[in-house]
Structure 1
Amino acid sequence: MSVEDTANTANTANTANTEDAGNVDAVKVEDVEESWNVVATTRHFAGRVISVRTDTVEMPGGVVADRDYVVHPGSVAVVALDDEDRVLLIRQYRHPMRRLMWELPAGIRDVAGEPLVECAARELAEEAAYRARTWHTLVDLATSPGMSDERIRIFLARDVEPIPDEENTYVREHEETDMPAVWIPLVTAVEKALSGMIHNSPAVAGILAAYAASADGFKGLRPAGAPEA
C-alpha cells in the first residue's frame, strides 16, 4: 500500500469516527452528582489523615455489592509560574512509592472552613517560601475515584515572589526537612511528564493543564474562588 493509499485509509477511518461521535451529541459529557443507596457501612481503619471503609451499595436491578475505598479530607496543589514561564517544583520522599518524587507545592485541606485558595497559598508559603498575587483555578481532580473520595484542586499562581527569611516562620519536619525546590521551564516540565520522568499525578495534571491553558494567555481559567462541583 502506498503512502497516499495509507493516508486515504486513515482519512476514511477518521471520517467514520467523527460520524460515530456525532451520534452521541445528546449525551452531555460532564460529571454530575449521583449517590446510590448504601445499605451498610463498615469502617476497617481510621488513621491520622485517612480512613478505610466498605460500603454495601444497591446496584441497578436491586442487587448489592461491596465497594472498598479510602476516605480522604481532600487536598490542594499549586502550579506556580514566574515571569519566565518557569514552573516551581519541589522534591519529596514518598514512602509508599519508595521514591524521591518531583511534585507541586501541595497539602491536605486540614483547616476547617478555610477557603481552598487560602489553603493553597499557605502550602506555597510553607513548602516553597513563595507567595503570589494572581490566582486562578486550574483544574480539579478525583485522585483515584475507584478507590478514594479524595479531591484535589490545582491552582495556577502567578506574579510570584520569595518570602523574606524573617517572615518565614514555618518549621519543616519529617519528609519536608530536606526538600529542594527548582524552577524549570514549563515546556521542559511537560517533556519530563510525557517521558515518564515525573510521576506525581497532581504534578503531571497541573503541568499539562497549565501548558494547555497558556495557549490563550490563561483567559479561559476559572476564578480562584470558583465553586467545586
Structure 2
Amino acid sequence: MELRDTPEEWRVVATTTPFQGNKTSVRTDDVVMPDGTVARRDYQVHPGSVAIVALDDEDRVLLLKQYRHPVRQKLWEIPAGLLDVPGENPLHAAERELYEEAHVKAADWKVLTDVYTTPGGCDEAVRIFLARDLSEAEGERFEVSEEEADMELARVPLTELVRRVLAGDVHNNCLVVGVLSLMAARTGDGVDALRPADSPWPARPFES
C-alpha cells in the first residue's frame, strides 16, 4: 500500500452552476457511482489559497485577529489570502499577503504542507508556507479595508500557540495545521528537510 493521495475522476453526466459569486461559485454535478447509480453533489468552487507561518528570530509566530462573519467570531489566524490569478505562483501570492496584512517580508521560505480544507463540500486547496528571517517591509503600509481594517496583530511564542491549539482556544484551520506541521517537522527530519518554496503543487499548477 502506498500512502499517497492519487488523482481520480468519476464520470459526470450533468453539471450546472446555480450560484456565481465574486470569488467563488457553487457547482452541482450528477456523478456516476461505482454501482452505476447517479448521485447529485453540490460543492463550492474555489480559486485556492496560500497561508504563511511567519516565524521570527525569537521563535514567535506572527498572528492576526480578524472578524469572520460565517462563524460570527473574531479568529486568531496566520496571514493568508486567495490566489487572485489562475496559475499564479503561490510563493508570489504568499509574499504579497505577508506584506499586505503585516507589512513584513521574509528572506527564507519553505513549504510546510498542502491541504484541501473541506474536500467533501469545497475544492479549495491551500499551500501553507514557513517564512523565516523576517524584517519590516519597505515603503508605505498597504491600505486595508472591510474586515481587515479592524485586524489586530500579535507575535506569539510557538510553544504557547501549540498549547492554545490543543486546548481548543484557536480554531482557524490554516493556523492549526501550519503550527502543528512546524512542530512535527522540528521533531522529525528538521525544518531544512522541508520542500523548497517553489515545489510543484498538483492541486493548483503554476508557472515559476
- TM-score band, normalised by the shorter chain? over 0.9
Distance across 2 between alignment mates of 1:182 and 1:121: 19
Which consecutive residues of structure 2, in runs of 5 or more, have no partner in the other structure?
203-208
Q: Which residue of 1 aligns with 2:168?
A: 196
Deviation at 1:212, TM superposition (A): 1.2
Distance across 1 between alignment mates of 2:15 and 2:85: 27
- The answer to whether structure 1 residue 219 and structure 2 residue 186 are counterparts is no
Distance across 1 between alignment mates of 2:87 and 2:98: 19
Paired AA for residue 195 in structure 2: R
Q: Which residue of 1 aligns with 2:41?
A: 67
Deviation at 1:159, TM superposition (A): 0.3
Q: Which residue of 2 aligns with 1:170?
A: 142
What TM-score, normalized to structure 1? 0.85
Larger fraction in strand: 2
**1:97-156 Cα shifts (integer Å, max 9, x gaps):** 100000010000002432100100100000011000000000111010000000000000
Equivalent position to 1:82, from 31, 53, 56 = 56
1:177 counterpart SS class: helix
2:191 counterpart SS class: coil
Aligned residues: CA RMSD? 1.1
Paired AA for residue 51 in structure 1: S
Which consecutive residues of structure 1, in runs of 5 or more, have no partner in the other structure?
1-26
**1:56-89 Cα shifts (integer Å, max 9, x gaps):** 0011121111111000000000000011111111
If asked which structure has higher relative contact order (CA below 8 Å, sep 6+), I would say 2
Larger fraction in helix: 1
Equivalent position to 1:185, from 152, 157, 182 = 157
**1:166-218 Cα shifts (integer Å, max 9, x gaps):** x1342100001021111111111111111111101011000111111122440
Q: Which residue of 2 aligns with 1:50?
A: 24
Q: Superposed, which structure 2 residues align to 1:107-146 within 5 Å?
A: 107-146=81-120
Segments ≥4 residues shifted beyond 6 Å: none
1:135 counterpart SS class: strand
Larger radius of gyration: 1
Percent of aligned positions that are identical? 51
Distance across 2 between alignment mates of 1:181 and 1:192: 17
1:35 counterpart SS class: coil
Aligned residues: 201
Task: Note if contact 2:63-2:78 (Cα within 8 Å) is conserved in structure 1.
Answer: yes
